[in-house]
Amino acid sequence: MLLLLANRGEVIPVRKVLTGAPWPIVLFSLGMYLVIYGRRNAALTDELARGLVWVAQHGPRVATIGTGCAAALLSSVMNTMPSVLIGALSIQHAPDLPPLTRERMIYANVTGCDLGPKFTPIGNLSTLLWLHVLASKGQTITFDRYMSVGLVITPPMLLVTLLAPAAWLPLLGPR
């Protein structure tokens, strides 16, 4: 519908947009959602929920860091949005979590899924599009180069970011 509206005006060259679109990236992204939906049906969320319950038994701080790290690893190989969904469903299906621990895990899931794609370029659609645009301009960033920087910078940033809500959420008190 948006393409039809854009085609009516003269501002956006629709034909140029369609021919210049990174179709392999678009298909990859759509494929990821299909894979995630299939994995959910194959009990991935149940397995992850069991793992989250086990991590939560070791205390709220460990639950926060464990959830965030699991989410980061998941999103670095799958993609941000499907990983957030899997993490949220897993936390929702994890039985008997204390409310504050569950809340920490929710924040940790979002944080981990946001930072995890910095490990690999395939974890985030916007990164793939950015790399595509750079390549079209003659600037190439290899998978190895991206990962060599991401693996140095991301883990400490992830740890600090996960420890912050572990420290301030208890200060907010019960809600």
Tens of pLDDT, residue by residue over 56-74, are 999 888 999 999 999 999 9
**Domain-located, residue 12:** no
Residue 175 has pLDDT above 60, yes or no: no
| H/E element, 17 | helix 14-20
Residue 42 has pLDDT above 60, yes or no: no
Beta strands in 83-155 (DSSP E): none
**Domain-located, residue 122:** yes
**Domain-located, residue 142:** yes
**Domain-located, residue 93:** yes
Residue 140 to residue 134: CA distance in whole angstroms: 6
Binned at pLDDT 50, 70 and 90, residue 41 comes out as low
Lowest mean pLDDT among 16-25, 90-99, 107-116: 16-25
Q: What confidence score (pLDDT) does residue 124 get?
A: 81
For residue 130, the enclosing domain spans: 23-166
Q: Are 24 and 127 in contact (CB under 8 A)?
A: no
**Domain-located, residue 68:** yes
**Domain-located, residue 18:** no
Q: At what angle do helices 60-77 and 44-56 cross, to 10 degrees?
A: 150
Contacts of 9 (CB under 8 A, 6+ apart): none
**What is the pTM assigned to this prediction?**
0.75
53-88 b/e (C-beta count within 10 Å ≥ 16 → b): bebbeeebeebbbbbbbbbbbbbbebbbbbbbbbbb
**Domain-located, residue 121:** yes
**Domain-located, residue 171:** no
Query: For the chain, what is the mean pLDDT?
Result: 84
Token pair recorded at residue 142: 């290899």
Question: How many structural domains are present in the chain?
Answer: 1
